[in-house]
Structure 1
Amino acid sequence: RTLRVVVNYAGNATDFCTYRMNWFNPPNHIGALVEEGRRDAERVCQLLCEARLTTDVVDDIKKFAFEKTALNATLCPICALTGMTMGEAMADPDTRKLVVEILKEARAVGERQGWTFQNSLDDWIRYLEAGGPHKPSLAVDMEAGRATEIYYMNGKICEHGRRLGVPTPYNDAMFWTVLGKERKMRGQLVGGGK
């Protein structure tokens, strides 16, 4: 049985075996991919709640996973490309505008998929504002010279947008720019550019 969890928690290591919680925006969501796994999802949910990580069992985990992907598709690439923290990116008027446009596109893709989101666009913005002085994982990976997960964020939104006939120019731009920066870091630029 396979379960999927959408976590609304962020923190980072401050020392060996020491972590700082940057924020927790409850609830987390857990769902079974097949009906037979629901009892397992309920048990894991109970354990997470006992650890004070409020979690709900949901029927359509894919909708919540898409919503989390939409949120990650904003500040992850923006912070990776600018070096800003989440708080800095949300405070800057230009990067904030970019966040809003990326979210609008992602939301349109999700709605075309048939999902109705409980949280409004303004709720999503407030969620992102809570990030504060935190750098998202994609930015940390890029700073360390590691491959990023851009294919699974903006790349998937673009892919679904194309399949559903929803234009995603802002997500396309984030996707292509992060890929270009990754190639530059690996010394794999095409056409002689070094």
Structure 2
Amino acid sequence: MYNIAIAGAGAMGGRIGTQIKEAGYNVTLIDYWDEHIKKINDDGLEIKTETSTYNVSITAKKPSEVNEQYDLLIILTKAMDASAMINALYDRDAIKASTAILTMMNGLGHDERFAEVVPKSQIFLAVTMWTAGLRGPGQLLLEGSGTIELQRADGEADYRTEEINNIFNKAGLNSVISDNVFISIWSKATLNSVLNPLCTILDKRIGELGAYDRARDMIQPLIEEIVAVANARNVDIKTDDMVHKIEAAYPESTQGLHYPSMHQDLHKGRLTEIDFLNGQIAKYGKDLNISTPLNTMLTHQVHELELDYV
């Protein structure tokens, strides 16, 4: 039987894992949160949707408890925890030469960091528009619909790409195989690199940020920096498209009432993913001799806030 592990059993990991499990696959959730793991193993994951509440029986383990190998390993930890997780599972011999390692985490550069542990031919990248909420240990809130777009990180054709896509679609995750997933990854990273740090620093919801009548003047120079770096890395995104994508998030009917995840992390006393968004863009810019003063400044400002909250 195809053996699948979800490393990082938070809101999104729980959603992806339980939907794949319900589609009939053998799935293990891997996480470090003892209370969460115990609750899942004792009672299953409690799923609350718009119309019902039910439990899904699924196995959960800590990395140190893993004693099997996986055909597909999906990494859905926080970005700053991903390298430690993949190294822990590599040390436990959970990763074999044919294991497909897929990430759909936010941020940039995950393929480069994973390639320090496994060959790039084993690394797959995905971007998702699904959402999920974690209500407490062993408790998920699943609302709305979404999509997944995926590709092997080096762009090469691979039978495993088709296998993963089929698994996702059997699980109702609305997956497609991309011919350039980096465009979607950088588009989402641009959105997150604007809304996340600005809402966090200014302590505003997305709609409140957009209500400022000079908001476009504020965000456009930042977007221009990001687009310059992306284009230099042969990723074809455009400033005007990114401005419109971000402005589409302002209305209450879309994301306007919400605080971005970085704001939520900071105010819950957790480190943010700033180094994998604006910080990674600044690093790429330095390597390419492209000036990124706004991304660099936002990175420092969020780290300054972390000193007060974390």
Corresponding residue for residue 117 of structure 1: 237
Which one scores higher on RCO, CA 8 angstroms, separation ≥ 6?
Answer: 1
State whether residues 3 and 31 of structure 1, in contact with CA within 8 Å, keep that contact through their aligned partners in structure 2: yes
Shift of residue 113 of structure 1?
A: 1.6
Unpaired runs of 5+ residues, structure 2, are 1-99, 101-122
**Could you list the per-position Cα deviations for residues 93-121 of structure 1 after superposition, in whole angstroms to 9, with x for gaps in the alignment?**
34443332222210111112222137823
Check if 1:175 corresponds to 2:264.
no
Match of 1:30, SS state, is strand
Shift of residue 66 of structure 1?
A: 2.4
Distance in 2 between the 1:128 and 1:79 partners? 13
Q: How many aligned positions are there?
A: 183
Match runs of 1:136-151 below 5 Å: 136-151=260-275
Structure 1 88/20 Cα, relative in aligned 2: closer, same or farther at 3 Å?
farther
Corresponding residue for residue 153 of structure 1: 277
Distance in 1 between the 2:294 and 2:286 partners? 13
Corresponding residue for residue 7 of structure 1: 128
Check if 1:17 corresponds to 2:140.
yes
Corresponding residue for residue 83 of structure 1: 203
Shift of residue 68 of structure 1?
A: 1.8
Shift of residue 124 of structure 1?
A: 2.4
Match of 2:133, SS state, is strand
Between Structure 1 and Structure 2, the one with more strand by share is: 2
Shift of residue 81 of structure 1?
A: 1.6
Check if 1:165 corresponds to 2:289.
yes
Distance in 1 between the 2:155 and 2:225 partners? 31
Q: Relative to structure 2, which stretch is displaced further, 61-70 or 29-38?
A: 29-38
Match runs of 1:120-135 below 5 Å: 120-129=241-250, 130-135=254-259
State the TM-score, normalized to the length of structure 1.
0.78
Of 36, 39, 44, the residue aligned with 2:164 is 44
Check if 1:30 corresponds to 2:154.
no
Q: Relative to structure 2, which stretch is displaced further, 128-137 or 40-49?
A: 40-49
Between Structure 1 and Structure 2, the one with more helix by share is: 1
Of 46, 55, 68, the residue aligned with 2:175 is 55
Q: Which amino acid aligns with 1:75?
A: L
Shift of residue 180 of structure 1?
A: 0.8
Distance in 1 between the 2:281 and 2:305 partners? 19
State whether residues 14 and 20 of structure 1, in contact with CA within 8 Å, keep that contact through their aligned partners in structure 2: no
Structure 1 140/28 Cα, relative in aligned 2: closer, same or farther at 3 Å?
same
State whether residues 13 and 20 of structure 1, in contact with CA within 8 Å, keep that contact through their aligned partners in structure 2: no
State whether residues 79 and 139 of structure 1, in contact with CA within 8 Å, keep that contact through their aligned partners in structure 2: yes
Q: Relative to structure 2, which stretch is displaced further, 113-122 or 144-153?
A: 113-122
Distance in 2 between the 1:77 and 1:92 partners? 16
Q: Which amino acid aligns with 2:276?
A: Y
State whether residues 89 and 96 of structure 1, in contact with CA within 8 Å, keep that contact through their aligned partners in structure 2: no
Structure 1 35/156 Cα, relative in aligned 2: closer, same or farther at 3 Å?
closer
Match of 1:10, SS state, is coil
State whether residues 267 and 309 of structure 2, in contact with CA within 8 Å, keep that contact through their aligned partners in structure 1: no
Distance in 1 between the 2:187 and 2:231 partners? 11
Distance in 1 between the 2:234 and 2:154 partners? 20
